[in-house]
């Protein structure tokens, strides 16, 4: 059974001297992971815009004028083509996101085909579709979905200042249904919403104290989009963001901690410190749903500088040979610059 964390314990971690916190986080990271390996995911928006929710950070909400054009659910083959490109570029997990409050049952057969198709390529699958019913979670599990993303965003206390169209308990209920169906959980939050350090501690306590902590914990830095209510928020101090990564690593030692939205505005040095703090997963590719992300080759250059290796997935043993060939293709130009860690 995982430790039951208290707000006071989490707050004490945030209050630690920065270098001591980093040292502790890196020690814990090395107990559970190869520090040279990074899990690499690609995120595709399979249905964009016109979302009825009022999340104040989101350009996809129908309530805000952000200039984003809404699009219907993509064709299955179009999604699978994007997955093939992502795999060829070195991603091991393909995440599909739809701007919905919840999926309609009429959409489920298409979603199931997407999951099956991506899995047949040997990639891990993830979806984020809003609230799920127990039956929908089971259907996605039966199709082979590996992960379901549903972020808590912030602490229960601050949550109502950011979202009013869905309760915190609804989010927890969806995570519970996903877990019951046998799908792994991906859940994290956003730094820079206007929250306090105590709210950041509260978010991490909620995640760490779930019956089983999420296997994947994305920590996003707010991407400020003109037209959303949070467009003029203060920038997040890089050290505060790195500190949040470190505390997440200490509180959830066996979870993958993902450096998610906001990397486009981070320096290489900030990202390097995040990896030192225990981040070991990134979103890879030029877009995260509708927000910019560093280009793939920029990430590979950073990996080379830091001696990091993209982690291979093993969802389909029969596809392993092709996966190795693609990873070899990805790294061929600078193999000698990588450490000789197993990929």
Q: Is 274 a catalytic residue?
A: no
Do the strands 287-288 and 291-292 form a parallel or antiparallel pair, or are they unpaired? Answer: antiparallel
Catalytic residue among 119, 249, 258, 263: 258
Helix %, strand %, coil % of the chain (to 5): 45, 15, 40
153: left (phi over 0), alpha (psi -120 to 50) or beta: left
Is 55 part of the annotated catalytic residue set?
yes
58 is catalytic: yes
283: helix, coil or strand? Answer: strand
Q: Which of 36, 126, 243, 274 is catalytic?
A: 126
Count of Cβ atoms closer than 10 Å to residue 333 Cβ = 11
Which candidate in 58, 171, 200, 274 is catalytic?
Answer: 58
Q: Which helix (H) or strand (E) holds 46?
A: strand 37-47
User: Would you call 343 helix, strand, or coil by DSSP?
Assistant: coil
Of 36, 93, 95, 200, which is the active-site residue?
95
Residues 4, 30, 36, 55: which is the catalytic one?
A: 55
> Taking the CB of residue 15, how many other CB atoms lie within 10 A of it?
11
Say how far apart CA 93 and CA 114 lie, in whole Å. 13
C-alpha span between 181 and 61 (Å, rounded) = 29
The residue from 36, 186, 200, 274 that is catalytic is 186
Q: Which residues contact 248 (CB under 8 A, 6 or more apart)?
A: 188, 204, 207, 217, 219, 255, 257, 278
Three-state secondary structure call for residue 215: coil
209: left (phi over 0), alpha (psi -120 to 50) or beta: alpha
- Catalytic residue (choose from 51, 93, 119, 249): 51
Q: What residues are labeled active site?
A: 51, 55, 58, 95, 126, 186, 258
């Amino acid at each position: 059974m995982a430790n039951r964390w208290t707000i006071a314990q989490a707050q004490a971690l945030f209050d630690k001297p920065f270098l001591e916190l980093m040292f502790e986080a890196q020690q814990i990271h090395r107990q559970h992971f190869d520090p040279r390996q990074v899990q690499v995911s690609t995120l595709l928006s399979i249905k964009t815009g016109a979302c009825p929710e009022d999340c104040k950070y989101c350009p996809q909400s129908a309530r805000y004028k952000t200039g984003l054009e809404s699009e219907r659910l993509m064709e299955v083959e179009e999604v699978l083509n994007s997955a093939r490109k992502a795999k060829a570029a070195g991603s091991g997990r393909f995440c599909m996101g739809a701007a919905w409050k919840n999926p309609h049952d009429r959409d489920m057969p298409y979603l199931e085909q997407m999951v099956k198709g991506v899995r047949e390529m040997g990639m891990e699958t993830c979806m984020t579709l809003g609230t799920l019913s127990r039956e929908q979670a089971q259907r996605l599990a039966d199709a082979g979905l590996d992960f379901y993303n549903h972020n808590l965003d912030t602490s229960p206390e601050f949550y109502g200042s950011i979202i009013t169209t869905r309760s915190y308990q609804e989010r927890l209920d969806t995570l519970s249904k996903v877990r019951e169906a046998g799908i792994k959980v991906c859940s994290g939050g956003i730094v820079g919403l206007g929250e306090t350090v105590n709210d950041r501690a509260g978010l991490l306590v909620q995640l760490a104290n779930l019956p089983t902590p999420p296997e994947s914990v994305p920590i996003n830095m707010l991407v400020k989009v003109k037209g959303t209510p949070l467009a003029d928020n203060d920038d997040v101090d890089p050290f505060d963001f790195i500190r949040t990564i470190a505390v997440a690593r200490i509180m959830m030692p066996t979870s993958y901690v993902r450096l998610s939205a906001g990397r486009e505005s981070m320096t290489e040095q900030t990202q390097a410190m995040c990896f030192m703090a225990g981040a070991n997963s990134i979103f890879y590719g030029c877009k995260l749903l509708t927000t910019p992300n560093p280009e793939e080759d920029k990430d590979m250059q950073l990996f080379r500088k830091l001696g990091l290796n993209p982690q291979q997935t093993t969802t389909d043993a029969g596809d392993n040979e092709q996966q190795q060939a693609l990873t070899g293709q990805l790294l061929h130009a600078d193999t000698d610059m990588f450490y000789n860690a197993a990929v």
